[in-house]
Amino acid sequence: MILAGVPDIRFVQLSPAALTALISGDLVAASTAAGAPLSQFLVEEAWLWRIRLADIDTDPAAAEWIARAAVAEPEGVTVGHAGFHGPPDADGVVEVAYSVDPQHRRKGYAKAMLRSLLERADADPRVTAVRASIRPDNTGSRATIAGFGFRKVGEQWDPEDGLEDVYLRVKKA
């Protein structure tokens, strides 16, 4: 469904074969494995695909939650990637993750990705809340989550990103 000012996003799950091809820099093989035309931006995110491939190796059920290309519809253009860090934890919390290709930023795609991720989380009875961790200087991501019911609940130190604000959106009953 397209909401006013928010594009529609279709997620394409990235199989281990697609992830392996992205890691090796083979965009053609990755696109073939995914069944959708992927983008160079996804190849450049090889560091992330290594993590996600290891996640799937550890827990094959994680594939249902992570590693998805975000395709803008009806254009059929891959504009980034989004998903969760993994399946719901013991408390039913999932953490969102999304990134928009720089050439497609400021067009509403991040909000569209987040909207779709929240719909996915809300549809799963195991999920009780959705978490987001954002660096305080990342005004774009803070603006993206605004209006979706997230509340700041604390801070954390991430070894790669440094200080992050932690936000939580409790699932509506």
Cα Rg, the chain, nearest whole Å: 16
- Is 18:39 a contact under the CB 8 Å cutoff? no
Q: pLDDT of the chain along its 173 residues, tens only?
A: 444 556 889 999 999 999 999 999 999 999 999 999 999 999 999 999 999 999 999 999 999 999 899 999 888 899 999 999 999 999 999 999 999 999 999 899 999 999 999 999 999 999 999 999 999 999 999 999 999 999 999 999 988 888 999 999 998 76
Residue 160 maps to a domain = no
CATH number of the domain residue 46 falls in: 3.40.630
Q: Where do the DSSP E strands lie in 41-128?
A: 68-73, 77-84, 93-100
Please classify residue 47 by burial: count the beta carbons closer than 10 Å to its beta carbon, then call 0-12 exposed, 13-18 middle and 19+ buried: exposed
Residue 19 maps to a domain = yes
- Which residues are CB-neighbours of 160 under 8 A, at least 6 positions away? none
Residue 155 maps to a domain = no
Q: How many domains does the chain have?
A: 1
Residue 133 maps to a domain = no
- What are 24's two structure tokens? 């090796």
Residue numbers of the domain that contains 44: 8-125
Residue 101 maps to a domain = yes
Residue 164 maps to a domain = no
Residue 79 maps to a domain = yes
- Strand 93-100 relative to strand 151-158: parallel, antiparallel, unpaired? unpaired
- Of 99, 78, 60, 14, give the one whose Cα is nearest residue 22: 14
Residue 76 maps to a domain = yes
- Of 84, 12, 85, 19, give the one whose Cα is nearest residue 50: 19
Round to whole Å and give the CA distance between 128 and 71. Answer: 27
